[in-house]
Amino acid sequence: MTFVESPGPYPFLHDPARAARTFETLADESIAIATPDRTLLESVFANSPYLARLALRDRDQLPSILRAPVAETVAQCCEQALAVATMENSADAMTQLRRAKRRAALAIALADIGGLWSVDDVTRALTTFADAAVRGALRFLLREAAQRAGLAKTDPTALEATTGMVVLAMGKYGAFELNYSSDIDIVVFYEASRFPFEKRGDPRPAAVDIVRGLVRLLSEVTGEGYVFRVDLRLRPDAGATQVAISTDAAESYYEGMGQNWERAAMIKARACAGDPQAGADFLKAIEPFIWRRNLDFAAIEDIHSIKRQIHAHEGHAQIAVAGHNIKLGRGGIREIEFFAQTQQLILGGRMPDLRAPTTFGALRALRARGLVTEATCADLIEAYRFLRRLEHRLQMIGDEQTHTMPKQDDDLANIANFAGYTDIDALGAALLQRLETVQDHYSHLFEREAPLDTQHGSLVFTGVEDDPETLNTLKGLNFRDPAHVAGAIRGWHHGRIRATRSARARELLTKLVPALLEALSKTADPDAAFAQFDRFITNLPAGVQLFSMLLARSEFLRLIAEIMGSAPRLAQHLARAPATLDALLDPGFLGELPSRRRLDRDFAAQMASVTDYEAALDTARRFAKEQIFRVGVQVIMGVAKADEAAPAFANIAECVVAGLLKAVEDELATTVGRMPGGAFAVIAMGKLGGREVTAASDLDLIFVYDAPADGETDGPKKIPAVVYYARLAQRFIAALTTATAAGTLYEVDMRLRPTGNKGPVAVGLESFIRYHESEAWTWEHLALTRARVICAPDALRAKIEPIVARALASRIDDAKLFADARDMRQRLAAEFPGKNRWDLKFAPGGLVDLEFIAQTFQLHAAPQKPEVLDTNTIAALKKLAAAGFLTDSDCNTLVAAAETQNALTQVLRIAVEGTLDPETASPGLKSLLVRADAASSFDELEHRLVSEQASVREIFTRVMAQK
């Protein structure tokens, strides 16, 4: 059929002047236009600047396009596209493809506007040409690759059919439903065993190069224009995969991690170019993925949730004319497609006759099955044709991939005239009727509210792009970077992390995400909380158990959100050791802090089940981390007070020290035996000695042994006592500090042992006595005020404790004592000046000043009043005041400052690494600190801290200078 036979009626003229100018230019070039053709062209030129430009650019082609049957012209354009396979270079191939596209585009548009072709004819012709262009470009690239590889076979047609590479057409392209200015959605796979090309010995980069070349040939804009924009984002996990994927990898992905929206995309898939057998084999292999016989509730809800994306754009929530998106908006083209596709996905596994790839085919199959009425099917098909025709008019005006009705009156009048309506109102009435009809049918199909919404709006994470309505919802939930959040969650759904590799985990995650985001949104810094949770979930070995627990126990979800939002250090610990979360399953997790008796009982029970030494080390680490996590969470959640944390952390450390020492002794006994008549003691110093331990404290330890001078072990390899205890001490330190599969346990500091780092790691009892009676420095006496035996046989403990008491009660010249103490504090200040007031240990008036006062005055007072001795700083200050060595006023000030800074230190060591910077601290962390000190605001807390540190520093300067 030629354009002479065009039935009309033709569009109304929107811009007759432009049409006149176009005809004048054609006349100047002696392009003769017959009268019947002129009427059609006048309508085209008056409404479409793009088509007018096409006619002028290839004006010498215009007469032949008008005279020849349209189908013949399109067929010639397809032949021209296929012919690029044998061209000499890519530049010539690109030129020929673009010229063929321009000619086909003009011919198809004229057939559409002139009424020669239906919408179905137009979309099929556009698709047929796209197939030819893709096939021609692919053949060209395969021939080039064969020539570079030196293959004997270089015939492009034969190469296409035998190299195992297949191009799948997806979406509208796959269903022969391309619109006028559509891009083409393709996915490229290759059979690695048949693909003949390699790059650096690997077929994948060679396949990637071919796909990139294909995109360039088709979509690069040159002086001749472009052929098609190419979209590769429908490939498996597009954000993490190459543009060419092996069929084995793709099948594995779809089998294990494919999502429901990808099933929907595959309904229309077909091989449009490449090896036909490879294409058929692949599509056959993934049939079970696309067409599942049984779907559980979560899968059906996910399919329903896909639809919600189409209402996510501005102006699409309501039916309208001006500014309405006729593809994605309410009552639009996508709604008709989803009406068919969602039912196909849910029912097609059991009803193969519903698997039609085209929209009309699917609707008619649903009608034949009695799943939709005759009237519904007819309404939707008629509306689809109307909307697709209108979509073509929108795109023909400027060759833009638009689906949105104009907002300005003149532009609306243009599209109304182009669509064959006299004015905007006439078009509006026709459009609204179709949109309302479609929406009515769709709303009856999906009447109930999708349960994946939150009270704030829609949350959809299917597909490959950000869903604008979801971004708005996330913004409403106080996330500053909603695109980052949406992208990360899509990655979870794609199975890019171990926790979501299984289909069950992803289904549970679909249900969990809205509640999770709600919980994170209630933290002081939702973005920081989400980032921490993302790190945590990324390190999970599996997700089903956790997701199930969080769905069943909303209080745990709130707890985790609070940790992620308020305590970065605790959150990082969870990220590194997610198994710590097992502690949540303990019914008493948020109950009372564990007592030493319970810790000993539980640790002994766990150690009793281990079968070897390495398992014992791992068990100790897991146990300690779980218990430290428990205490930290209780402090963060306000269940335990900050001042209760220090003794709890000390109990954990002492429990593990005692349990591990036994394991080390048992392990050493397998080679050297034990020491008859010998005993070994662990003396805690520093914070552990004073039971002022934090979540980040290392352990200051001294090891003392008592054994017969000539004693030796009783094992197969006998060694003397000094060697045995040195070896025991070294192995014990390694047991506490070495990183294993379960991570690290504690850092151990041995510098407080007699003679410091130069001395043996374990010292005999007699040497310990002699050293502290005659050789110890002042600073060692100060440190000894915090010495506490935490692990030893009763007999050895009874010997050591009096030794320590006598050493502390021995008189030191006051002038020397105070001078040495002041000198040591000055040296510490020079080495660790205190970064700011929140460097609570070293800041002037901080914990070091408090410790120096307590320790120095204990050494000063103990010769007269030994009852002042106490390893705990606050307890020692109170005893010193009671004995008259500090005034009540000074004591009260010092104790208040110590309580404040100890409580704040506990929170900071649980929550963050390093020194707090108030300028960058999260609101959640500031709230925790305020609660720890019972302040009304962070400003009040800082004011109190400044005041108390200044008072401590004044007292330190005054009392330490009095001797």
pLDDT digits (tens, 9 = 90+) for 825-847: 999 999 988 888 999 999 999 99
What is the C-alpha separation between 864 and 429, in angstroms, rounded?
103
pLDDT computed for residue 310 by the predictor: 42
Q: Look up residue 825 and give its amino acid.
A: R
pLDDT computed for residue 495 by the predictor: 75
CA 352, 358, 362: angle at the middle one, nearest 5?
Answer: 45
The mean pLDDT of 853-870, rounded to a whole number, is 94
pLDDT computed for residue 4 by the predictor: 60
Which range scores top for mean pLDDT: 499-508, 648-657, 747-756? 648-657
What number of residues does the chain have? 963
CA distance to 163, 166, 190, 749, 950, per residue, from 246 (Å): 13, 10, 5, 55, 69
Least confident of 419-423, 757-761, 770-774, 777-781: 757-761
**pLDDT tens readout for residues 349-359:** 888 999 999 99
Say yes or no to pLDDT of 778 above 80: yes
Say yes or no to pLDDT of 449 above 60: no
The mean pLDDT of 629-658, rounded to a whole number, is 88
The mean pLDDT of 416-430, rounded to a whole number, is 92
- Closest to 585 measured CA to CA, from 611, 609, 550: 550
What is the C-alpha separation between 625 and 580, in angstroms, rounded?
7
pLDDT computed for residue 912 by the predictor: 76
Beta bridge partners of 166: 189, 274
Q: Which residues contact 560 (CB under 8 A, 6 or more apart)?
A: 519, 533, 536, 550
pLDDT computed for residue 256 by the predictor: 76
Reported as a pLDDT band with limits 50, 70 and 90, residue 566 is confident
More confident: 544 or 139? 139
SS3 699: strand
CA 860, 861, 865: angle at the middle one, nearest 5?
Answer: 155
Say yes or no to pLDDT of 297 above 50: no
pLDDT computed for residue 858 by the predictor: 95
Say yes or no to pLDDT of 176 above 70: yes
Reported as a pLDDT band with limits 50, 70 and 90, residue 451 is very low
CA distance to 92, 134, 189, 241, per residue, from 141 (Å): 13, 11, 15, 22
More confident: 525 or 793? 793
Least confident of 260-269, 387-396, 949-958: 260-269
pLDDT computed for residue 543 by the predictor: 77
pLDDT computed for residue 649 by the predictor: 94
- Strand pairing category for 699-706 and 762-764: parallel
pLDDT computed for residue 945 by the predictor: 93
DSSP state of 720: B
pLDDT computed for residue 294 by the predictor: 65
Least confident of 364-368, 376-380, 634-638: 634-638
pLDDT computed for residue 336 by the predictor: 92
**% of the chain surpassing 90 pLDDT:** 53
More confident: 5 or 182? 182
Beta bridge partners of 231: 185
The mean pLDDT of 499-528, rounded to a whole number, is 81
* Long-range contacts of the stretch 358-361 (C-beta < 8 A, 24+): 358/175, 358/176, 358/177, 358/268, 359/175, 359/177, 359/384, 360/120, 360/384
pLDDT computed for residue 311 by the predictor: 46
**pLDDT tens readout for residues 609-622:** 888 999 999 999 98
Q: Which residue has the tokens 């502690």?
A: 583
**pLDDT tens readout for residues 127-169:** 999 999 999 999 999 999 999 988 888 899 999 999 999 999 9
Say yes or no to pLDDT of 741 above 90: no
Q: What is the mean pLDDT of the chain?
A: 87
CA distance to 42, 244, 418, 640, 750, per residue, from 278 (Å): 48, 14, 44, 64, 68
Q: What does the longest C-alpha to C-alpha distance in the chain come to?
A: 125
**pLDDT tens readout for residues 355-377:** 999 999 999 999 998 989 999 99
pLDDT computed for residue 582 by the predictor: 65
The mean pLDDT of 581-600, rounded to a whole number, is 75
More confident: 497 or 252? 252
Say yes or no to pLDDT of 579 above 80: no
Its pTM stands at 0.61
Answer whether 948's CB lies under 8 Å from 893's CB.
yes
pLDDT computed for residue 203 by the predictor: 93
The mean pLDDT of 103-118, rounded to a whole number, is 93
**pLDDT tens readout for residues 27-54:** 877 777 776 788 889 999 999 999 999 9
Reported as a pLDDT band with limits 50, 70 and 90, residue 798 is very high
**pLDDT tens readout for residues 477-487:** 888 898 999 88
Least confident of 1-5, 80-84, 485-489: 1-5
pLDDT computed for residue 78 by the predictor: 97
Cβ burial, residue 613 (10 Å; 0-12/13-18/19+): middle
The mean pLDDT of 583-595, rounded to a whole number, is 70
Say yes or no to pLDDT of 308 above 80: no
pLDDT computed for residue 26 by the predictor: 87
pLDDT computed for residue 273 by the predictor: 95
Say yes or no to pLDDT of 675 above 70: yes
Residue 169 backbone dihedrals phi, psi, to 5 degrees: -85, 135
First to last CA, the chain: 116
The mean pLDDT of 733-754, rounded to a whole number, is 88
Say yes or no to pLDDT of 319 above 70: yes
pLDDT computed for residue 450 by the predictor: 42
Least confident of 98-102, 536-540, 876-880: 536-540
CA distance to 517, 698, 703, 781, per residue, from 682 (Å): 48, 15, 5, 18
pLDDT computed for residue 941 by the predictor: 92
**pLDDT tens readout for residues 866-892:** 999 999 999 999 999 999 999 999 999
Say yes or no to pLDDT of 174 above 60: yes
Say yes or no to pLDDT of 298 above 70: no
Say yes or no to pLDDT of 456 above 70: no
pLDDT computed for residue 126 by the predictor: 97
Which range scores top for mean pLDDT: 464-468, 736-740, 908-912? 736-740
Reported as a pLDDT band with limits 50, 70 and 90, residue 734 is very high
